[in-house]
Chains A and B, each alone.
Chain A
Amino acid sequence: DTAVSQTPKYLVTQMGNDKSIKCEQNLGHDTMYWYKQDSKKFLKIMFSYNNKELIINETVPNRFSPKSPDKAHLNLHINSLELGDSAVYFCASSQWVMGIDTGELFFGEGSRLTVL
């Protein structure tokens, strides 16, 4: 059973389209994240949710909208896709212990988005 699963694994779409990536974790963790990995392999946090509440929102264009229906799910919707959005998007989860983030992230396999 996959701990953090994201779908789809691959997305190819045209500029201007809207797309969503779904993420689910079965680890019982409180916190979920979206990270973006660009073509140079650089990893950067985009969003973080703790128990369905947004706690980190980096300087991400508002075309990106995360949604957490419950603490096991964190979806990412992207409007009006641009060429620069092409990247691998990783979902992750972690457990907080006594109010402190352990930082031990469990990552999904990534969703490779290609915008043409």
Chain B
Amino acid sequence: EPEVTQTPSHQVTQMGQEVILRCVPISNHLYFYWYRQILGQKVEFLVSFYNNEISEKSEIFDDQFSVERPDGSNFTLKIRSTKLEDSAMYFCASRGQAHNQPQHFGDGTRLSIL
């Protein structure tokens, strides 16, 4: 079964540094998402992406965050200047065109900000 893949599995970064989290969605999927889960808290929606643009973003997704689909297969989340509170598990998800398609999730990237 096709899978969503995320790299790296664990990223350790100094506060203030830029970080890019990478995702390869399932190849025929058209909707892409990023979520995060701070330790001990709920999985929270960050952003959805469709047709090469952001379709919805949460209030968490401020100017420090950006997403890109640079080459038709990768889907990246960039955090420009990381803060301690950005430490979390970041999940990428994708789904197909049909309305009743569920989202498929990657294994996540654990981001640790020092």
Q: Is A bound to B?
A: no
Q: What is B's interface to A at a CB cutoff of 8 Å?
A: none
